[in-house]
């Protein structure tokens, strides 16, 4: 097999839910630049989805999460981006351990900043995979909460 042949990778991203809002950040990245996306990143060797979710949210926003639950998985092929890539993306949801904790921009080279956005008034443009889910009517909240 080719050593440098591109391969699909696994990402874990998280709907951090706070009341009727979710945590989004405007990306600084070759993939989805300047689009609003969930916190998350690459699954590391040996990690569970929940461990990866908690680690990425903490690394990127400083926030500690709990009640981490699997929601869905999508297959995302980004051939038009400057760096063509392919992600199997695991979507989890979680809540704040401390409801008063505010997000911090822990990786300013990767994100313009984090904020809470009302599910019914999401910012634009959303990152492609998220936009597709929202347009299809997907709702990350526990039944009846929005
Ligand atoms: P890492 O080094 O911290 O592991 O990676 P990262 O820099 O945090 O990776 P990322 O680009 O934030 O996330 C990995 C991939 O996950 C991303 O390139 C494409 C895929 N992905 C989606 N939807 C979303 C989303 O809403 N947010 C994020 N962050 N990634 C997403 O398919
Ligand atoms: Mg990350
Ligand atoms: Mg990330």
Q: Is residue 1 part of a domain?
A: no
Q: Is residue 142 part of a domain?
A: no
Structure ipTM? 0.99
Phi then psi for residue 80, to 5 deg, are -85, -10
Domain of 115 in residue numbering reads as 9-135
Ligand 1 pocket, residue 129 CB under 6 Å: yes
Ligand 1 pocket, residue 24 CB under 6 Å: no
pTM of the complete model? 0.96
Q: Is residue 22 part of a domain?
A: yes
Ligand 1 pocket, residue 53 CB under 6 Å: no
Q: pLDDT of the chain along its 146 residues, tens only?
A: 556 788 999 999 999 999 999 999 999 999 999 999 999 999 999 999 999 999 999 999 999 999 999 999 999 999 988 889 999 999 999 999 999 999 999 999 999 999 999 999 999 999 999 999 999 999 999 986 77
Q: Do 31 and 81 contact (CB within 8 A), yes or no? A: yes
- Domains in the chain, number: 1
CATH code of the domain containing 80: 3.90.79.10
CA 13 to ligand 1 center in whole angstroms: 7
């Amino acid at each position: 097999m080719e050593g440098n042949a591109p391969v699909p990778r696994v990402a874990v991203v998280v709907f951090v839910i706070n009341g009727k809002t979710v945590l989004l950040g405007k990306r600084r990245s070759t993939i989805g630049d300047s689009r609003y996306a969930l916190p998350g990143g690459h699954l590391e060797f040996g990690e569970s989805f929940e461990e990866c979710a908690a680690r990425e949210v903490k690394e990127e926003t400083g926030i500690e999460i709990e009640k981490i639950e699997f929601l869905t998985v999508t297959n995302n092929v980004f051939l038009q981006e400057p760096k063509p890539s392919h992600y199997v993306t695991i979507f989890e949801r979680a809540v704040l351990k401390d409801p008063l904790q505010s997000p911090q921009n822990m990786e300013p080279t990767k994100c313009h900043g984090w904020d809470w956005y009302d599910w019914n008034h999401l910012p634009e443009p959303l990152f492609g995979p998220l936009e597709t889910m929202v347009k299809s009517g997907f709702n990350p909240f526990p039944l009846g909460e929005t």
